Amino acid sequence: MPILKNAKKALRSSERKRVVNRRVKTRVKTYLDKVKKSGDSADIATAYSAIDKAVKKNLIHPNKAARLKSQATKAVSAKTK
């Protein structure tokens, strides 16, 4: 446990950030799973939006975002065939 006052404050702020970051990452994963199951174009738009917001907040790397978008697009095109 932190002893110094500033370390205690850092712990509190990092805990708040952890909760928010986990929520955003979970949202991305949920939308991607939904796209892979349904293959709907409306779902892919929401997944892209969630991925882009996670990149904007520096939660995932831009290259990972590109990979996830590519996988989602492949899943949708496979469902439409």
| pLDDT averaged over every residue in the chain | 93
Query: What per-residue confidence (pLDDT) applies to 39?
Result: 78
Return d(Cα 28, Cα 30) in angstroms, integer.
6
Query: What per-residue confidence (pLDDT) applies to 64?
Result: 97
Return d(Cα 45, Cα 50) in angstroms, integer.
9
In tens, the pLDDT along 10-32 reads: 999 999 999 999 999 999 999 99
Domain locations in the chain as residue ranges = 39-81
Return d(Cα 40, Cα 43) in angstroms, integer.
5
What is 27-56 written as a DSSP string?
A: HHHHHHHHHHHH--HHHHHHHHHHHHHHHH
Residue 2 has pLDDT above 90, yes or no: no
In tens, the pLDDT along 44-63 reads: 999 999 999 999 999 999 99
In tens, the pLDDT along 29-40 reads: 999 999 999 878
